[in-house]
Amino acid sequence: MNIALLIIFAFLLLSFYSGIRARQGKDMNMEQWTVGGRGFGSIFIFLLVAGEIYTTFTFLGGSGWAYSKGAPSYYVLSYISLAYVISYWLLPPIWRYAKEHKLVSQSDFFVSKYNSPMLGILVAAVGVIAIIPYLVLQFKGLGIIVSEASYGTISPAAAVWLGVIAVTIYVMLSGIHGSAWTAAIKDIMIFFVVVFLGIYLPYHYYGGIQPMFAAVHAANPGFLTFPTEGLSTSWYISTVLITVFGFYMWPHTFGSVFSAKNENVFRKNTIMLPLYTLMLLFVFFVGFTAILQVPGLKGADGDLSLLRLSLKTFDPWIVGIIGAAGLLTALVPGSMLLMTGATLLAKNVYKVMAPATSDVQIAKVAKLLVPVLSLISLYFTLSGGDTLVTLLLMGYSLVTQLFPALLFSLGKQPLVNKYGAFAGIAAGVLTVAYTTVSQATLATLFPHWPSVIQDLNIGVVALLVNIVVMFGVTITTKPLFVNGQQAANTEGTPTFK
């Protein structure tokens, strides 16, 4: 075992230790395990929210896309900042309602608002299905980090196995308290590592940021701006909007909203969080520097660019620290994702089907589901060849389908009824599934339309289908429920006027 791997393992053990410590002296009932007893202030929420967003994706996927696609990678900066803007208005009402009704999961929110456990099952299912590509992304990242840092002695597949086992143990040990503490260590480390790499590497190889960009521009003109077709500005705008709407629809992000102490925590955080996204800038610098220094990484291998360049440039111990930071960026979000997925399945699917189950048993079922979800994601990790960005966008187009039903439920009375919400979400998700499987884009569906429309993210279509079906079904089912209250009484005894 080399020094790089030793450092990575030391950090892994440290995070296990902090996970166990954080849990001591706390009675881990469901509310403790999942929403931390609703006692987290600004700084913890900041770390949790930041912790979820700055994942292996940021680290490896961001640099990977800058390396292989160029300018389109900038979309990441925009969507995260704009999502924080929306959160100022979106999160306080969600938090207030969740607190009043003692909700612990995203699915609970829909169940309560629309008074429909069936809708809860659908929302939980969409959430868990979307979580899988996001988990695959983290595991893939872990695999890349460990196998690269081993200088080829550990195969990527073995590295993925190690990573999955580590994350699973970590979640089962600690729940959310562990996540928050490790998130603190992780955020400090990733910040310094990324800023260091983003400044050092361009200066080392090119003598500055601008000379680096100029060299990339000279080698490949057009790489530093959005292309006129394909990943064009119209792709950029539509993708940013879709991901902004989806941002808080991730079950784990939605869930971490519940753990805040009061609603002003969110309002305050919207000031600092956009600045925090600037860290991504340094990740992009690394990706752009790698283009001419470690050329030839094709397709999904673009995600290796940051580590390949680091291996070429630094001594093993620095590679170890970079790898350790990378490990934490996969561990923290990975553990949140696993925990949320397991809780959703236990509470909003299993419990609905077996209502007699006690809360203690539900918590046990949730813990047992953690390794099950890990293994499912492990299977997809080892079988798929997508880039990290592709996986992320796939998950996003799914969770975004929950946004309309959420938005329309925020008023005193939901704008649409439970049938509309159910049908809309289902239609949106099926549209995403169809376009993913058939690889359809607007360009293949409408080959003669102008590229401004062809380049739109296909998620826009799914969202439109979703909203149209939602209102359509609401309107057609309305006659069954004349005057709200009467509905229950007259159901089954149709009266004709």
Rounded CA separation 325/190 (Å): 5
Q: Can you list the pairs that 304-307 forms with residues at least 24 positions away whose Cβ atoms lie under 8 Å?
A: 304/60, 304/64, 304/144, 304/148, 305/63, 305/64, 305/67, 305/68, 306/59, 306/60, 306/63, 306/64, 306/197, 307/60, 307/144, 307/145, 307/148, 307/149
**Among 13, 219, 272, 368, interactor with other proteins by CB under 8 A:** 272
**Which one of 271, 354, 375, 482 is in contact with other proteins (CB under 8 A)?**
271
Choose which of 43, 118, 157, 278 interacts with other proteins (CB under 8 A).
278
Distance of closest approach, residue 291 Cβ to other proteins, in angstroms = 14
- Please give the angle made by the CA atoms of 301, 317 and 166, to the nearest 5 degrees: 65
C-beta of 228: minimal distance to other proteins in Å?
9
CB closer to other proteins out of 80 and 135: 80
Interacting span for other proteins (CB under 8 A) from 19-27, 116-124, 259-267, 426-434: 259-267
Judged by CB under 8 A, the stretch of 168-176, 270-278, 405-413, 417-425 that binds other proteins is: 270-278
**Which is nearer to other proteins, 147 or 305 (by Cβ)?**
305
Among 270, 361, 436, 477, binds other proteins (CB under 8 A): 270
**43 lies in the binding site for other proteins (CB under 8 A):** no
Q: Which of 13, 43, 214, 360 binds other proteins (CB under 8 A)?
A: 214
Of 278-286, 317-325, 372-380, 458-466, the window that binds other proteins (rule: CB under 8 A) is: 278-286
Q: Which is nearer to other proteins, 139 or 285 (CB)?
A: 285
Among 240, 307, 416, 463, binds other proteins (CB under 8 A): 240
What residues between 71 and 100 interact with other proteins by CB under 8 A?
Answer: 71, 74, 77-78, 81-82, 84-86, 88-89, 92
**Nearer Cβ to other proteins (82/473):** 82
What is the C-alpha separation between 243 and 80, in angstroms, rounded?
8
Query: Do residues 263 and 96 make contact, with C-beta atoms less than 8 angstroms apart?
Result: yes
Nearest to 14 by CA among 278, 296, 434, 324: 324
Residue 231 in the binding site for other proteins (CB under 8 A)? no
- In the complex, the smallest distance separating the C-beta of residue 273 from other proteins, rounded to whole angstroms, is 8
Q: Which of residues 339-378 bind other proteins (CB under 8 A)?
A: none
Under rule CB under 8 A, residue 197 binds other proteins: no
Please give the size of the binding site for other proteins, defined by CB under 8 A. 42
Q: How far apart are CA 97 and CA 439, in angstroms?
A: 39
277 touches other proteins (CB under 8 A): yes
Q: Is 267 in the site for other proteins (CB under 8 A)?
A: yes
Does position 219 interact with other proteins (CB under 8 A)? The reply is no
Among 2, 42, 233, 441, binds other proteins (CB under 8 A): 233
Q: Does 281 participate in binding other proteins (rule CB under 8 A)? A: yes
Confirm or reject binding of residue 29 to other proteins (CB under 8 A).
Answer: no
Is 487 an interacting residue with respect to other proteins (CB under 8 A)?
A: no
Residues that bind other proteins (CB under 8 A): 71, 74, 77-78, 81-82, 84-86, 88-89, 92, 208-210, 213-214, 217, 224-226, 233-234, 236-237, 240-241, 261-264, 267-268, 270-272, 274-275, 277-278, 281, 284
